[in-house]
Structure 1
Amino acid sequence: MHPTGTDPLVPGGGKDVAVGAASGANRGPAVRELAAGEVFSALDTSRRGLSAAQARARLERYGANELPRAGRPAVWRQLGSQFTDLFAVVLIVASGITFLAYALEEPRDAGTFQLAVAILGVVVLNAAIGFAQEYSAERTAQALEAMVPHTCRVLRGGERMEVPARELVPGDVVVLEAGDAVSADCRVVEAHELAVNNAPLTGESNAVGRTADPVVAGPPLEARNCVFMGTDVVSGSGRAVVFATGAPTEFGRIYRLAAAAPRQKTPLQLQVASMARRVAGAALAIGALMFAVRLPTGESPVTVFVFALGVMVALVPEGLPATLSVSLAIGVRRMARRHALIKQLLAVEALGSTTVVCTDKTGTLTQAEMTVTQVWAGGATHPVTGVGYAPSGEVADAAPVRELMRVAGLCCNARLIPPAGPGGREHWRVLGDTTEGALLVVAAKAALDLRAEEAAAPRVTEFPFDSDRKLMTTVHKSGAGYQACVKGAPVELLARCSDVERAGQRGPLTGEDRAVVVAASDALAAQGLRVLAVARRELDGPRPAQDEAESALTLLGLVGMLDPPRPEVNDAVAACRRAGIRIVMVTGDHPLTGEAVARRVGIVRRPDPVVVTGARLDAMDDEALDTLLAEPSELLLCRVSPEHKMRVVTALQRRGEVVAVTGDGANDAPALKHADIGVAMGASGTDVARESASMVLLDDSFASIAMAVRLGRSVYQNIRKFLVYVFSSNIGELGPILAATFAGFPLVPISAVQILAIDLGSDVMPALALGAERPEPDVMDRPPRSRRERLFSSAVVGRILFLGGIQALGVCAVFFWHIHSSGIPFNDFTEDSPVYREAVTLAQGGIVLSQFFVSLAVRTDRQSILRVGLLSNPALLAAGGFGVALMVAISYLPPLQAVFNTAPLDAGDWAVLAALGTLPLLADEARKGWLRRRADRRKGAPL
């Protein structure tokens, strides 16, 4: 890589040229001080760009164009951070105090030592799980990031091609267009209304014009003839020569300063941390209370402390941090497999509560393979055959429209890429705008050789398309004069036309002619076609003003093209409707085109949708817009600009909606950032859009949004499922201890060591399996979750108390039934009493078996477990089976009996425990049935 502060490229000829910040090491003028023509020789390149061999050599010399990865903490630091979790700290302190108690007590009790070791073992095991999951999550994130390629367009040997951004080298000639992210520091050598947004470097988001003219020496970021890595092209087009890549860029300098900044936690992480503090505080408070209650009874302080410690351990969900990590990691992976790349954990939360989706039409609802199906000129329509980007098909009676096709083809920046042959790409594709690609294809179908036409009429200047004019104009040398080729929206272009061409003859465009053209445009749009108008004008010079080039035009005709809907979108739209999610189409197309596509995919089903144009939005104040959005109508926004899109998103959020917005262009970036969920297109979207979004659709399909919402809802549900599971089992552990205290029983029904065995053997693994639970069948049949709803909602707390209370009652019943049936007074029981050992074994076994059935119960919120299938989560069954097997071993193996103070149970005991264990499952099935019946009654109620 280049040494920092020195020239990244020493050009041939022996002359050093400064290309970075001013430095004493630089011995020549900086490239920004040179004329555009001198830049090529200074950087040892040419207008045709580098050859393939030169590019390879420079890539080896200067290295990949990428920033150094942020240094990952050492393994020992990553592992050590697992011990700083609040739950871990509480348990470490408890273990230390227990070790101290063991050292001070006389005589020393081996059980106290075993408890201290067991608590410490829990901490170590939990840290190992958390470390493994964190490491796995990092690997997953790196793999997912690689799924979204960052590319740029360059000239190599005179040919425009798309290369990975990491392969850019000094001397490359980069082609810049609106929406592109700048991938290296470059000197502009050609600019056509070029403007960039330098906000990532300067913090100022205003578009700044760029020029190819030399500038005086000064700070690099003030050089108006340079563009820098990390910025984006707002408008216009141009070409620039790379002079710095990777770390020596201006962005690389800032990146190094920011790399060490701590990562901010997401709201979900903060919410879980707050929950951990409260749970830990409650555990300490209740443990202290139990210590205070038991101490006056005359027991030794160490014994009372061990008892209170058992209470505290019973309340601390040791495996919660690891389980949370697993659930989120699994959700992100599942979404990635369904073509939705989640860039922020916040997106997982918001997905579950999305109420409105503002979706683009092209590429999201449709296939983004524009195909010209009709050409209109001189009052006649010429059908076009063939589908897609392969130039196979024909234009009916092509001769009268060949000039229209020539002008449209010249006014394009896109390029057709043929199939790569055996083992490569199988289909034709377009490099650039898909609409322009369709024009290139139809020109080929009309038997036009556009390469020959471009050679005969070389382009001399360009006025790029922008969303205000809705036009694009190129100026070409044509014989002894010059010609402007213009294409754009029919309404805007028609207003600039003064003549019309029929059968090769130009004549004035009358009012009657205008009405005919408008009717033809509307007829094409009503068929769901995107319509472009094409015109030309003869000019006197190569550098006309934009107004001159785009006025007094001669209309050549109209082109109608179709972007067919994606076949999977209809089901996805229906799923969103069932989920209570409103879909608003936001498109720049003609209202008739937008409505036609919306009807095809199911967004519009009524005969009278509300269709609002950008002009109507401009006439509305905020109150009127709020009234419009409050109507429960099918809404289509057509002919809208990025400013309109942003305003609609803001108005929806003002109403309390959780808004997801799709976008693919640089002009969509403000709306993507402002939305609750910004969804960028991974295949066709610009780098700027992808950087602004919190989710990237790798296949650009609306169906992936619906699938991501479904998976996002399931992730949040799974987090709640294992919260219900873990905390209800904690109540099952705590209940018998509290009952024994207030009943005056001198010993604990379940010891701290037994609680730790339950938490490790019967809590952590099933909780992890619940984090991998598949979405419930009816997850998309429920309304969106309120954005104000918390993890511990009243419903969650109620279910914890419901299931935990049943577990606690069952365990208390079996424990005290066994104690009372012996006929031995409470005060005569000792820890070595066979009856007591059998009773605590029954209590531990009751908790373990109850947990197994509770894990089955919490798999669904409303659906019967029989509906989803008892065997549909084999990992959960295996985890539950492991917990039961461990309990059997603790009951029958002498070494474990000595550790846990247990005794063997007979078949009758196990039968009683199994019956009690099923009670939570049966009770919860009854609760779910009642909820389903209530929901059915509400659906059947008259409106």
Structure 2
Amino acid sequence: MPPGEVHGALGSSARGLSPDAAGERRERYGANELPRAARAGPGRQALAQLTDLFAVVLLLASAITFLAYWLSEPRDAGRLQLAVAILCVVALNAVIGFTQEYSAERTAESLQAMVPHTCRVLRDGRRQEVPARDLVPGDVVALEAGDAVPADCRLVEAHELSVNNAALTGESDPVRRDSAAMAVPGPLTDARNCLFMGTDVVAGAGKAVVFATGAATEFGRIYRLTASASRQRTPLQLQVAAMARRVAGTALAIGALLFAVRLPGDDTVEAFVFALGVMVALVPEGLPATLSVSLAIGVRRMARRNALVKRLLAVEALGSTTVILTDKTGTLTQAEMTVTRVWADGAVHPVSGVGYAPEGEVTDPAPRVRELLRVAALCCDARLVPPGGDGGRDGPGNGGGPGGHHGNWRVLGDTTEGALLVAAAKAGIDPHTEEAASPRVAEHPFDPGRKLMSTVHRAPGGGFLVHAKGAPQELLARCTHIDRDGGARPLTEESRAAVVAVNDGLAAQGLRVLAVAVRRAEGPGGDRDTAESGLTLLGLTGMLDPPRAEVSEAVDACRRAGIRIVMATGDHPLTAEAVARRVGIVRGREPLVVTGKRLDTLDDAALDELMAGGPELLLCRVSPEHKTRAVTALRRRGEVVAVTGDGANDAPALKHADIGVAMGASGTDVAREAAVMVLLDDSFASIATAVRLGRSVYQNIRRFLVYVFSSNIGELGPIVAATFTGFPLVPISAVQILAIDLGSDVLPALALGAEPPESDVMDRPPRARRERLFSMAVMRRILFLGGIQALGVTAVFFWHIHASGIPFAEFTEDHPVYREAVTMVQAGIVLSQFFVGLAVRTDRQSLLRAGLFSNPWLLWAGGIGIALMACISYVPVLQEVFNTAPLAAADWAVLTGLGALPLAADELRKAWLRRRRPESGERAAPGGGRTDRGGRTDRGGRTDGGGPAVHEPADGGPGPARIPGRDEDR
């Protein structure tokens, strides 16, 4: 409808709402903010720790043990101690797990919203500043360059108003907005007379009437789309759950079998207590706590590198990532336009420097180059604000539009004009001085149809000059002369073709090209057609949104690690390919470029086939739905997908991914809420660091799994041996097993979780999604080390029993020889685990080469476990609890020698492996794909080996040209 009818339709007026009306609507519509995602409260989170399968098994065992104590006559205090000890184990695990999860999530909530905190509105005709959360439908909002749009609004006044919709649509180019009535056949975001929450005003000023707030906005629509997606379980979650089921089932089965074997010769309760000891020996009681703390160590390490992880298990998921689906604007690039080329007087002049800080120079700034940049700077409405300048209000979203900050320099207004001002400053031109010498007397604002802007200035020597800038093809059509060899020369067909060739060359490099022209005028008046005709072309400028400096190195690291990188952006294919080449995502002659229009024509099967193509794939002009479909297709192929993004349009894909990575500084509320990891510095390089740490976490998890389960085998061995030799008592009690698992195993396992990444961790391919946590190699090592321990402690036990010369039938729980024997079994397991902890620090490398003292925490943890065992052996109170006896020095010497056997045997195994296979495992494919994909052909005939690619034309036009000289540009 016409602007004059908007106020009435929304129950407002040109003077805005009254305070009373605003208050009433605030009650009706609620706060202008996005609803927080539903999150389990502390009580539910704590309860979830008790539903872990290991916890359920232990709780059941405790209940049955307590029941046995209650029903038996006389009642055995040892059974009550066992029931209480098991409950303490479950409680300790729950406290550790809850503390780590709760603290990690609450730390993430410290990130602030992108939506501005305050906005300017008209209330009863008076302009005032109110909290953005108090905005209501019908409010009249005053907007100007540098403001963030606080809600969805309909423009009623617009003065050269342009907005940046990158946060909503993914496109970084400013978009013109006006207040005229129009039909909108497509999405509401196509309406040129509407502004949307979370976008930025980059030029001009205007007034708008709010028609939607909070969840009713376009941001809210995407938020609801995001909230409807279920959170994906990480590979480690799936594997730990499967492992827990197998271990619990195995423990129950073996316990039941041994119960049946012993039942004929024992009392039922005694047989059950024996079987319970077997179950406790097999269940890794400390594993949940150890897993949580190890992941928390990874979280803290990542936080120190500006990567905030909201969920612990996401740490490991990063380490198993096989594909990164990355956004372009704000993730790979700085969201800052920068002039890199100036063509004037027949030559191209490179411009150094990045961003809005006027640091750099124009190569060979000849007089004609300076004149071009001077004219371009005068034909701008933007302003360059130095550090500490007062160009706009502070606060989120009010930093001058999408340009952001570079060394605290800001641009208020159009980013393209800001780039021209910076380039002029690099050539030694002071815009303020030039404006004083050539004041503007008239202007013809930018017209989207003409794609031009022109201003009229008073010339220093008298008369008037028209300065014009715009799209080369449009401006060139209005030029009759060209500035060449120190003067204006007629623009011949030959020279016109030369200009077109230069323009095409710059555009082929992904640069946005603007032409600059000038003409003398009789006066400041006259119509636009007259002012913008008969122009003299001064030259061309080429600018780009520069990649972040650290991205190339990070991309190289990901390629070496066998991780495929797919760019998904709302920008034009030419721009996307140029950026992808500069950062190293694209290295082949022609990548596979697919637009959103093409994706709309593909069903799921065809999309799966497309995603199975070569490693160099660019998705351009894509919507949130397109990104989500791409993520789903990749996950159907078995990929572990990480998605990066900063805008609300990225949020659905972030949540559907295995690991969503949002930008912390420039990201939106919706994106940060959907992601499980937030990059506090917005740096893609932090992803490579996080992948490295994530892989290290998985290696460390496997290390302490070998450590813990080999101990369980050492505990189970003598129990099984006692069963089949007819010994009436257990060689090690359930309470002693709990003391080992929590007192002697947990701290060394945690120390193993703090092992730093190995030097070649990023030179290995990603782990296959179907690869089990308990691989055959892990199982073999557990059986190897655990078997040696079991043999050693079993031999010690029966050697001590037989050396006494007392028949089996005469042994009771209080017999001194029996108590000494079970003490030796417990001490033998503790000592052997100390040496196993040293052995599992490396897979193939000798411990001596890695450094015996390079992980002092492990030595301290092992020492604490041995000291605790000494206390159990010698302290009378603990002797009564654990039914132990003091050991002689000779006993400790024998146990130390037997305990060192696993370390010696493992060193021999590693030496044999190094001699048999000098090279370390499978390597990453040089093209960025994994080696198991080599040579696979995609649907267009492309091979991963570098053959020709089928290049999809963008929007029906020719595909992006090949860009030579990438290495030189970099």
What's the TM-score, normalizing by structure 1? 0.74
- Counterpart of 1:417 in structure 2: which amino acid? V
Q: Which digits, 9 at most, give the CA deviation of each residue in 1:293-324, with x for residues without a partner?
A: 11101x22221111111111112222222223
In the alignment, structure 1 residue 533 sits paired with structure 2 residue 500: no
- Counterpart of 1:783 in structure 2: which amino acid? P
Cα displacement (A) at 1:337:
2.1
Q: C-alpha distance in 2, partners of 1:324/1:197?
A: 40
Aligned residue in 2 for 1:11: none
Cα displacement (A) at 1:537:
11
Conserved in 2, the CA contact under 8 Å of 1:404 and 1:556?
Answer: no
Cα displacement (A) at 1:374:
4.4
Aligned residue in 2 for 1:878: 860
Aligned residue in 2 for 1:33: 9
Worse-superposed segment, 448-457 or 86-95: 448-457
Q: C-alpha distance in 1, partners of 2:130/2:385?
A: 14
Conserved in 1, the CA contact under 8 Å of 2:665 and 2:681?
Answer: yes
Conserved in 2, the CA contact under 8 Å of 1:344 and 1:694?
Answer: yes
Cα displacement (A) at 1:839:
1.1
**Counterpart mapping for 1:471-870 below 5 A:** 487=470, 501-502=482-483, 510-521=492-503, 530=511, 532-534=513-515, 556-561=538-543, 568=550, 571-581=553-563, 609-612=588-591, 641-642=621-622, 660=642, 679-683=661-665, 695-870=677-852
For residues 356 and 282 of structure 1, do their structure 2 counterparts lie closer, same or farther at Cα, with a shift above 3 Å needed? closer
For residues 347 and 493 of structure 1, do their structure 2 counterparts lie closer, same or farther at Cα, with a shift above 3 Å needed? farther
Aligned residue in 1 for 2:142: 173
Aligned residue in 2 for 1:447: 430
In the alignment, structure 1 residue 104 sits paired with structure 2 residue 71: yes
- Counterpart of 1:750 in structure 2: which amino acid? I
For residues 156 and 419 of structure 1, do their structure 2 counterparts lie closer, same or farther at Cα, with a shift above 3 Å needed? farther
Worse-superposed segment, 685-694 or 224-233: 224-233
Cα displacement (A) at 1:625:
12
Q: C-alpha distance in 2, partners of 1:589/1:212?
A: 27
SS in 2 for 1:173: strand
Q: C-alpha distance in 1, partners of 2:241/2:318?
A: 21
Cα displacement (A) at 1:851:
1.9
SS in 2 for 1:354: coil
Worse-superposed segment, 549-558 or 913-922: 549-558
SS in 2 for 1:936: coil
Q: Which digits, 9 at most, give the CA deviation of each residue in 1:13-35, with x for residues without a partner?
A: xxxxxxxxxxxxxxxx9957159
Equivalenced residues, count: 860
SS in 2 for 1:115: helix
Q: C-alpha distance in 1, partners of 2:765/2:500?
A: 44
Conserved in 1, the CA contact under 8 Å of 2:226 and 2:655?
Answer: no
SS in 1 for 2:342: strand
SS in 2 for 1:41: coil
Conserved in 2, the CA contact under 8 Å of 1:66 and 1:247?
Answer: yes
For residues 696 and 463 of structure 1, do their structure 2 counterparts lie closer, same or farther at Cα, with a shift above 3 Å needed? farther
Q: C-alpha distance in 2, partners of 1:384/1:289?
A: 79
Aligned residue in 1 for 2:262: 294
For residues 875 and 241 of structure 1, do their structure 2 counterparts lie closer, same or farther at Cα, with a shift above 3 Å needed? farther
Aligned residue in 1 for 2:237: 269
SS in 1 for 2:541: strand
In the alignment, structure 1 residue 325 sits paired with structure 2 residue 266: no
For residues 126 and 168 of structure 1, do their structure 2 counterparts lie closer, same or farther at Cα, with a shift above 3 Å needed? same
Cα displacement (A) at 1:718:
2.6
Aligned residues with identical type, % of pairs: 61
Q: C-alpha distance in 2, partners of 1:788/1:112?
A: 42
Conserved in 1, the CA contact under 8 Å of 2:202 and 2:412?
Answer: no
Worse-superposed segment, 306-315 or 514-523: 514-523
For residues 616 and 747 of structure 1, do their structure 2 counterparts lie closer, same or farther at Cα, with a shift above 3 Å needed? closer
Question: Which residue of 112, 129, 147 corresponds with 2:96?
Answer: 129
Question: Which residue of 860, 872, 875 corresponds with 1:893?
Answer: 875
Aligned residue in 2 for 1:18: none
Cα displacement (A) at 1:887:
0.6
Conserved in 1, the CA contact under 8 Å of 2:828 and 2:895?
Answer: yes
Q: C-alpha distance in 1, partners of 2:607/2:39?
A: 52
Conserved in 2, the CA contact under 8 Å of 1:182 and 1:227?
Answer: no
Question: Which residue of 106, 127, 144 corresponds with 1:139?
Answer: 106
Cα displacement (A) at 1:557:
2.3
For residues 875 and 655 of structure 1, do their structure 2 counterparts lie closer, same or farther at Cα, with a shift above 3 Å needed? same
Conserved in 2, the CA contact under 8 Å of 1:530 and 1:593?
Answer: no
What residue ranges of structure 1 are gaps of 5+ in the alignment? 1-28, 46-53, 201-207, 465-470
For residues 240 and 330 of structure 1, do their structure 2 counterparts lie closer, same or farther at Cα, with a shift above 3 Å needed? farther
- Counterpart of 1:173 in structure 2: which amino acid? A
Aligned residue in 2 for 1:311: 278
Conserved in 2, the CA contact under 8 Å of 1:32 and 1:187?
Answer: no
Q: C-alpha distance in 2, partners of 1:544/1:691?
A: 49
SS in 1 for 2:264: helix
Cα displacement (A) at 1:380:
4.5
Q: C-alpha distance in 1, partners of 2:19/2:779?
A: 70
In the alignment, structure 1 residue 92 sits paired with structure 2 residue 59: yes
For residues 827 and 709 of structure 1, do their structure 2 counterparts lie closer, same or farther at Cα, with a shift above 3 Å needed? same
Question: Which residue of 13, 17, 20 corresponds with 1:42?
Answer: 17
In the alignment, structure 1 residue 438 sits paired with structure 2 residue 413: no
For residues 439 and 922 of structure 1, do their structure 2 counterparts lie closer, same or farther at Cα, with a shift above 3 Å needed? farther
For residues 931 and 463 of structure 1, do their structure 2 counterparts lie closer, same or farther at Cα, with a shift above 3 Å needed? farther
Worse-superposed segment, 299-308 or 325-334: 325-334
Q: C-alpha distance in 2, partners of 1:487/1:853?
A: 74
What's the TM-score, normalizing by structure 2? 0.72
Worse-superposed segment, 529-538 or 888-897: 529-538
SS in 2 for 1:376: strand
Q: C-alpha distance in 2, partners of 1:847/1:801?
A: 15
- Counterpart of 1:325 in structure 2: which amino acid? S
Q: C-alpha distance in 1, partners of 2:540/2:142?
A: 35
Conserved in 1, the CA contact under 8 Å of 2:316 and 2:698?
Answer: yes
Conserved in 1, the CA contact under 8 Å of 2:303 and 2:309?
Answer: yes
Q: C-alpha distance in 2, partners of 1:525/1:272?
A: 52
Worse-superposed segment, 798-807 or 185-194: 185-194
Cα displacement (A) at 1:727:
2.2
What residue ranges of structure 2 are gaps of 5+ in the alignment? 123-128, 170-174, 395-404, 459-463, 924-930, 932-970
SS in 1 for 2:681: coil
In the alignment, structure 1 residue 418 sits paired with structure 2 residue 399: no
- Counterpart of 2:429 in structure 1: which amino acid? A
For residues 364 and 85 of structure 1, do their structure 2 counterparts lie closer, same or farther at Cα, with a shift above 3 Å needed? closer
Q: C-alpha distance in 2, partners of 1:804/1:355?
A: 33
For residues 427 and 805 of structure 1, do their structure 2 counterparts lie closer, same or farther at Cα, with a shift above 3 Å needed? same
Q: Note the aligned Cα RMSD (angstroms).
A: 5.9
SS in 1 for 2:918: helix
